Chain A
């Protein structure tokens, strides 16, 4: 009887990793500048801080305006979040249904509670929380620990690294984890905390795998991928199809251009791509990730306000005959 365990560092197979951390830091600073500083208007009444009144379209045009905004840029699609939060009868169209499937939490400030399935030390819990909250510097969602069963429930058992996607975590029975961080301890290198926990937190925020974007999937040679994953994982063709070769339905996504350096992108070796170049994969939240999270989870512009409340805006109106019929977008 023999039991032999060997470890293969797949990352060493990914040649020409060209990650410029200096650029990442610079990019993030640029994002911060773009976002402005939270709390800038703290203590001032919202209306007093507003230099001009914001006008709303007439109610009859609101849905059409959302449609057009989404057509111009899918990130503009209204974020609905959980279907149970949507009143009955509000989802009559394919557009709205597609948004619901995206599993994003919605643009309002939110705190997701976090608990642990085992009993890690306070030091380890703090360290994990710190990495989950790396996203919070750019967006309006943060993770806070609770002593009760949290919305995010972390286990460290076998089965690798995974997380349920966005609002799906609310469907998971409370005695089961929503995120798994196999074997994470205080001895795990900081680089792994950065790469893995921030990636899994991205899933909890509703972000899918970047390497499943069509532009990146199209770079993979299917036959090479089947051979590679059969050899390294024993995966059959169907599993490889699901894990690597099936691109996401971009119609259901709010997205930026495909980014192989995103923290949400796995490394894939050059031996399975058509051009022999690896898909590098992200090892840190990059400037594109931060900018994206800032767009879908915008920080409140004014302390104590969720954003621009419709009640603060003035609805303009004109006759229906004057509505613009053709939009050149």
Chain B
């Protein structure tokens, strides 16, 4: 009888129930989209910010010390170097999968037309095969996506070519195709780049060429690393100060979370004499943007939930007032308050559930539209959103039903049956 009454009520009140379902669809779809984007946005924002370069730099510990203490960097500051052999070990750390791109750098000076100029040896583009058999393409080109290049990028084995920063090129009237001499070796200028930073007055070449020119075989000054990271929290900040201050449980949590400090710590474990440091601006931008984006999504979810609850509240109350005679009759026939409330809640919950299911799938669609529009890729569907949305839906419907429930419990059969 209970279900028969519910089904017939749903059919009879289909326009009102459709309105309730529609309200739920709007609320749930928005919440689903926002939460999926919120949970998937971390990687997306990180990938977006990756275009602004590396977020971790690895240097020799002595060089890092000079930089930290005196702000001194580059060739001549010290004669300690990292080893090129260690570079691929980056992919062997616990968070190796989060290391997207990397490139070793060897900085030095060479004579060009009798004047010292800065040179940088690197992997412009590098196809590497890891000990695990995994293959990947990396190099500086992937880390400097914003460079404007006239001519072409250096290839992996362009040992007789260089690229030159646009400031240095204009000062020396060098064009693409020009020949330049560095320490008595002649190179062809393959490209002129605009970095917008301190690379613009330097000459870029392949790492073997620089090592040969500087007579530093197998040595590198630093490694630039782009890694997907999780925004810092109190634990990460505490660990960044000193990982030894963490309790064993905290250490495990920190180590197994992709905080930039945890990744730096793990990099230091595999790079001999290396000190890994986050590039502050990029790391902080990631954290700030992620936190603000998350907050925005949470706010939108909360507001849409409140909006849905208010709309549901109005619709249910209107429906119950319209049916007050029928519900009063049920009381007169011997129904307890809880039985009437259960009946009305069951109707609303079934309607809400139907709206919720439709809203969930629409929300996934909205999330993909947002993903495509903003990030140019699909947003991964987080299963936990189903549970969160179900809980939100339950409470929104329940809270929205409170005014109607109060009206129902206060409803006296005599008032509606005798018109008193």
Chains A and B are bound partners? no
